[in-house]
């Protein structure tokens, strides 16, 4: 039996707006701008935690520390940041019981009540920006540009959902076919929802795993990644500060060794009615198969192999910049990252030159105003990408930017590499690299480009670069992808736009009205006059 410590009310972390000049135990002492290394300002920590801390779970509106823990290691220096409470099957059952209890009242709240919670949460995101930036940087190595991108998406998502919740909740009264009969179509929440979210864009991906289900009257169990528990703690903290009732959102993290047992316990429980998952296709396949065994619906955003097609009439400088950013933002650790660049032969030389110059500028050292060498979350993706490059080079691929054999002093950093002459027998042709590598292909026509773009199991995002909108739209209609962005990078997300993939990139949609409608089921009621 493990000991559970519930933080007493008089020592709970207070909202950032009520912090006194004296540091309350367990609270960040400042929300001011972070230093370049993400540690502190004027010697005062931005974090609610230090190396002696244990990050609690959120269960039934309380912060619960467990005696079973795991170390959270920073990719920046491989040092232990703190410990995190490690949930087991019994903790999962407690989270379910809490969510079941809260569902009875939360499902009956008015859309305006939920709207106001989300509006206050949006303000919480603004006020705690620097604290959240600290967690993202120290836990995942996210550059400031990446954090700004995804944190703003999370803020906008709160506003978007708040604005759409009334519309998404409207029931209808279609005209019944038989004389004297009437019909009503109601929208009802599913019940308790399981959200499983990743580490790579933890603020927006963590938020969307519970925000849209909550908006439609469901309660949620959020299973977060072991790499970013403080970030997920902060998400739940902000929602509770905003007035979310106890039990509506319960958070769990666990040791990797316990992933199968905890996840199976959650999926198999009769009270879990629907699941959303964002992560790798391999893990998504396991979760979908388990959910299918119990006939439970899922929303899934999985891996990607995003193509960028550069036509001969493209603005080459724009295409080069957008492809560089799309491929290497956050070290390529984004499911929408550009993995294949398909360039028309007529502009191939010009594009190579522009891409090389752009890469030199964008990834110049910090001192030169660039992003520096990309930081990855662990050494494992570095090893994976080097193996993909080694296989490709051994089979005839050539590097046109970067050195496939280069090694950094840090095992969690890797310089960008662009390779050419990639063939279908090379592992990198089919495998999502999820790292700082991209393949360039020279094509003779739009049809050839579309053929290569579609020659993959994935279909999440894509780009087309052309100055002819009609041409861009024609190509966009042929690409098998959940999204096509004309003259902008493949990494594109907006709170109001439905987001999701086709093929092995997943099914269902997040964001916008379609994202909200995923979390209600319809009930038909008929009656006779």
Residues with a catalytic annotation lie at 301
Residue 376 tokens, joined: 């990855």
Q: Hey, how many other C-beta atoms are within 10 angstroms of the C-beta on 412? A: 22
The string of DSSP codes covering 266-329 is: HHHSTTEEEEEEES-HHHHHHHHHHHHHTT--EEEE----EEEEE-TTS-HHHHHHHHHHHHHG
How does 88-112 read in b/e, with b if 16+ C-beta sit within 10 Å? Answer: beebbebbbbbbbebbeebbeeebe
Do residues 280 and 464 make contact, with C-beta atoms less than 8 angstroms apart? no
* Helix residue spans in 170-280 (DSSP H): 202-215, 229-241, 259-268
Q: How far apart are CA 463 and CA 311, in angstroms?
A: 11
> H or E stretch including 225?
none
Beta bridge partners of 182: 527
Q: Which residues, in sequence order, are bridge partners of residue 195?
A: 222, 276
List, in sequence order, every beta strand (DSSP E) within 389-447.
398-401, 417-420, 437-443
Radius of gyration, alpha carbons of the chain: 24
Query: CA–CA separation, 260 vs 422, rounded Å?
Result: 36
User: At CA 86, angle to CA 84 and CA 89, rounded to 5?
Assistant: 160
Closest CA to 328 of 388, 377, 374: 374
Distance in angstroms (rounded) separating the CA atoms of residues 363 and 324: 9
Q: Where are the alpha helices (DSSP H) in 294-343?
A: 316-328
Query: 169, exposed or middle or buried, with CB in 10 Å at 0-12, 13-18, 19+?
Result: middle
**The two three-digit tokens of residue 118, written as one number:** 């989300």
The DSSP bridge partners found for residue 184 are 525
CA distance 464 to 299: 27
Q: What SS3 class is residue 516?
A: helix
- CA 442, 444, 445, 447 dihedral sign is negative
Q: Which among 106, 272, 298, 96 has a CA at the least distance from the CA of 188?
A: 106
Query: Looking up tokens 């609270």, which residue turns up?
Result: 27
Query: For 436, phi and psi rounded to 5 degrees?
Result: -80, 55
SS3 59: strand
- In 3D space, the residue among 55, 101, 91 whose CA is nearest the CA of residue 261 turns out to be 91
Q: Which positions ≥6 away from 348 have C-beta within 8 Å?
A: 442
Whole-number Cα distances in Å, 504 to 149, 169, 199, 460? 26, 31, 20, 9
């Amino acid at each position: 039996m493990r000991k559970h410590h519930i933080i007493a009310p008089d020592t709970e972390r207070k909202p950032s707006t009520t912090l006194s000049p004296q540091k309350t135990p367990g609270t960040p002492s400042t929300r001011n701008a972070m230093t370049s290394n993400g540690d502190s300002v004027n010697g005062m920590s931005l974090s609610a935690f230090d190396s002696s801390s244990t990050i609690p779970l959120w269960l039934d509106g309380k912060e619960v520390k467990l005696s079973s823990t795991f170390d959270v290691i920073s990719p920046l220096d491989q040092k232990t940041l703190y410990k995190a409470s490690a949930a087991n099957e019994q903790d999962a059952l407690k989270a379910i019981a809490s969510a079941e209890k809260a569902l009875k009242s939360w499902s009956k709240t008015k859309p305006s009540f939920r709207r106001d919670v989300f509006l206050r949460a949006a303000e919480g995101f603004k006020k705690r920006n620097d604290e959240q930036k600290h967690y993202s940087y120290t836990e995942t190595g996210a550059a400031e540009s990446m954090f700004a991108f995804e944190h703003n998406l999370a803020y906008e998502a709160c506003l978007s959902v708040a604005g759409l919740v009334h519309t998404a909740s409207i029931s209808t009264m279609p005209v019944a076919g038989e004389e004297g009969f009437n019909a009503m179509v109601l929208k009802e929440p599913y019940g308790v929802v399981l959200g499983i979210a990743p580490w790579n864009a933890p603020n927006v991906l963590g938020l969307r795993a519970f925000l849209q289900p909550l908006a439609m009257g469901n309660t949620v169990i959020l299973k977060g990644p072991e790499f970013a528990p403080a970030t997920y703690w902060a998400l739940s903290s902000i929602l509770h500060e905003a007035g979310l009732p106890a039990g509506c959102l319960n958070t769990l993290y666990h040791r990797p060794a316990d992933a199968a047992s905890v996840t199976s316990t959650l999926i198999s429980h009769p009270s879990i009615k629907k699941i959303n998952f964002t992560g790798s296709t391999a893990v998504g396949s396991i979760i979908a198969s388990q959910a299918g065994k119990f006939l439970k619906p899922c929303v899934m955003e999985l891996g990607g192999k995003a193509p960028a097609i550069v036509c001969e009439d493209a603005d080459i400088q724009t295409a080069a910049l957008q492809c560089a950013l799309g491929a290497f933002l956050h070290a390529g650790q984004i499911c929408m990252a550009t993995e294949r660049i398909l360039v028309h032969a007529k502009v191939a030389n010009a594009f190579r030159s522009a891409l090389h110059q752009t890469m030199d500028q964008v990834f110049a050292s910090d001192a030169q105003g660039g992003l520096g060498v990309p930081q990855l979350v662990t050494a494992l993706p570095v090893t994976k990408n080097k193996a993909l490059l080694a296989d490709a080079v051994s089979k005839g691929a050539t590097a046109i930017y970067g050195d496939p054999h280069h090694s950094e002093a840090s095992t969690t950093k890797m310089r960008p590499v662009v390779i050419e002459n990639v063939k279908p027998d090379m592992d990198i042709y089919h495998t999502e690299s999820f790292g700082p590598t991209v393949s360039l292909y020279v094509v003779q026509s739009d049809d050839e480009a579309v053929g290569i773009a579609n020659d993959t199991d994935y279909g999440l995002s894509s780009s087309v670069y052309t100055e002819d909108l009609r041409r861009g739209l024609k190509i966009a209609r042929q690409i098998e992808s959940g999204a096509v962005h004309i003259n902008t990078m493949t990494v594109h997300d907006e709170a109001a736009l439905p987001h999701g993939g086709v093929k092995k990139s997943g099914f269902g949609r997040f964001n916008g009205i379609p994202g909200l409608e995923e979390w209600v089921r319809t009930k038909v009621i008929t009656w006779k006059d």
